[in-house]
């Protein structure tokens, strides 16, 4: 497993916080690639994700935003799903904190049918992109 982090001009010490985890993660077999820029202006989420993808070396990608919380079995379960069908876009259920916030969005994203996955793929990529396979 590899952790690829791109710091898009954060001012909150994010890169230092992530760097502090390097030794612990590498002891557990997780390599880290960390880069970014210190410009006055962030270049945006699209740029940051593209940079993280470019510096990654894995076959499968799992996106995790800084303000998201991952459940303990997420990567294991999604990896197994990718092995079953490696050309799939694999998603997950979401929970909002505080509970009940953006209730309509949460209900929509957690109840998408197979047909909607095909017809609304572009919307899903931009609104709910959490995990995808390569």
Residue 130's nearest CA partner among 87, 76, 94, 81 is: 94
Residue 31 has pLDDT above 50, yes or no: yes
| DSSP, res 104 | H
Do 121 and 75 share a structural domain? yes
Q: Which of 14, 43, 58 finishes a domain?
A: 58
Q: Which residue has the higher pLDDT, 129 or 24?
A: 24
Residues 70, 80 within the same domain: yes
Residues 69 and 114 in one domain: yes
Domain stop point among 36, 58, 80? 58
- Whether residues 41 and 22 share a domain: the answer is yes
CA distance 51 to 36: 8
* 84 and 50 housed in the same domain: no
And the tokens for 76?
Answer: 């294991």
Same domain for 69 and 120?
Answer: yes
Does residue 104 sit in the same domain as residue 41?
A: no
Query: pLDDT (tens digit, 9 = 90+) per residue, 75-131?
Result: 888 888 888 887 777 777 777 777 777 788 778 878 887 777 767 665 555 445 544
Q: Is residue 68 located within the same domain as residue 110? A: yes
Structural domain that includes position 75: 60-134
């Amino acid at each position: 497993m590899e952790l690829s982090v791109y710091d898009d001009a954060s001012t909150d010490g994010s890169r230092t916080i992530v760097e502090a985890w390097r030794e612990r993660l590498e002891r557990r077999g997780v390599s880290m690639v960390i880069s970014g820029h210190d410009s006055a202006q962030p270049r945006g989420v699209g740029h940051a994700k593209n940079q993280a993808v470019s510096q990654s070396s894995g076959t499968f990608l799992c996106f995790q935003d800084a303000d998201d919380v991952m459940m303990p079995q997420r990567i294991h379960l999604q990896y197994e799903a990718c092995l079953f069908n490696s050309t799939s876009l694999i998603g997950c259920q979401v929970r909002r904190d505080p509970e009940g916030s953006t209730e309509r969005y949460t209900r929509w994203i957690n109840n998408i049918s197979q047909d909607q996955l095909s017809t609304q793929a572009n919307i899903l990529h931009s609104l709910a992109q959490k995990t995808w396979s390569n």
